[in-house]
């Protein structure tokens, strides 16, 4: 049977790697360091998936423009002290290995920096399974469609054969903007209710369900 999709693109934080709490906590800790207004958990989680600069400006809009550089430094201090220990979600490794073995092209589109994604790919041992990647410091941040458009162009796959997998509305909106299908996973930064508003092809609780969905629908 011909595969429906030729390219499956994964978000990273909150989708593949269980990093939501650490990212949100690092934003909040950085604000405390600088005596800035501390965003709520919901506010800090909402910006996950954006590029870091855009995320901090959205989460801490009251900061003076001159503060964002040092706020970024404090965020990285807190995040990098713990990022090597962030686990993958259950069944992520098995799902990605299975898709790779079955001949799908796999890619990553993430709000992480290039250095950040490279560290995560190496620490997780997943680098060899991805054919291409895009990060927020290489091109436009989500939900702009550039990451997906560039990946499609690089790998030679048309939009009708591309699937985006993500845990935030930024991921799903990027897919809509690029004209590709999307599946949401509900174990990350944004609520199921928020994800369903963007009408993904499916909303799955975790990679156990996602792996089964791939077998039936991809």
Task: Name the H helices within the chain.
Answer: 20-33, 41-46, 52-59, 68-80, 92-101, 114-124, 146-155, 169-178, 192-196, 207-217
3-state helix, strand, coil in the chain (%, to 5): 50, 15, 35
**Calpha distance 99→214 (Å, rounded):** 9
Q: Closest by alpha carbon to 107, among 58, 39, 168, 175?
A: 175
- Is position 137 annotated as part of the catalytic site? no
CA pair distance 44, 92, nearest whole angstrom: 25
User: For residue 172, what are its two tokens?
Assistant: 């799903």
Catalytic residue among 11, 167, 171, 181: 11
The region, left, alpha or beta by phi > 0 then psi within -120 to 50, assigned to residue 179 is: left
Give the residue among 169, 211, 163 at the shortest CA–CA distance from 186.
169
The single residue of 13, 83, 167, 171 carrying the catalytic annotation is: 13
Burial class (CB in 10 A: 0-12, 13-18, 19+), 18: middle
Judge contact between 102 and 78, C-beta under 8 A: no
Q: How far apart are CA 23 and CA 29, in angstroms?
A: 10
Catalytic residue annotation: 11, 13
């Amino acid at each position: 049977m011909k595969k429906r999709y030729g390219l499956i693109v994964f978000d990273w934080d909150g989708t593949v790697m269980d990093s939501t709490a650490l990212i949100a906590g690092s934003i909040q800790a950085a604000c405390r360091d600088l005596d800035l207004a501390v965003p709520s958990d919901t506010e800090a989680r909402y910006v996950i998936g954006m590029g870091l600069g855009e995320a901090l400006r959205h989460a801490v809009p009251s900061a003076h423009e001159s503060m964002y550089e040092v706020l970024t430094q404090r965020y990285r201090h807190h995040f990098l002290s713990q990022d090597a220990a962030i686990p993958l979600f259950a069944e992520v490794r098995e799902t990605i290995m299975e898709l790779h073995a079955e001949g799908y092209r796999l890619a990553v589109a993430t709000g992480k920096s290039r250095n950040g994604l490279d560290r995560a790919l190496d620490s997780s041992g997943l680098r060899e399974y991805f054919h291409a990647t895009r990060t927020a410091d290489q091109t436009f941040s989500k939900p702009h469609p550039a990451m997906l458009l560039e990946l499609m162009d690089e790998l030679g796959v048309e939009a009708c054969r591309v699937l985006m997998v993500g845990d935030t509305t930024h991921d799903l909106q990027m897919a809509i903007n690029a004209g590709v299908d999307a599946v949401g996973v509900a174990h990350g930064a944004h609520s199921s209710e928020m994800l369903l508003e963007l009408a993904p092809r499916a909303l799955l609780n975790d990679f156990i369900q996602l792996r089964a969905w791939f077998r039936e629908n991809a």
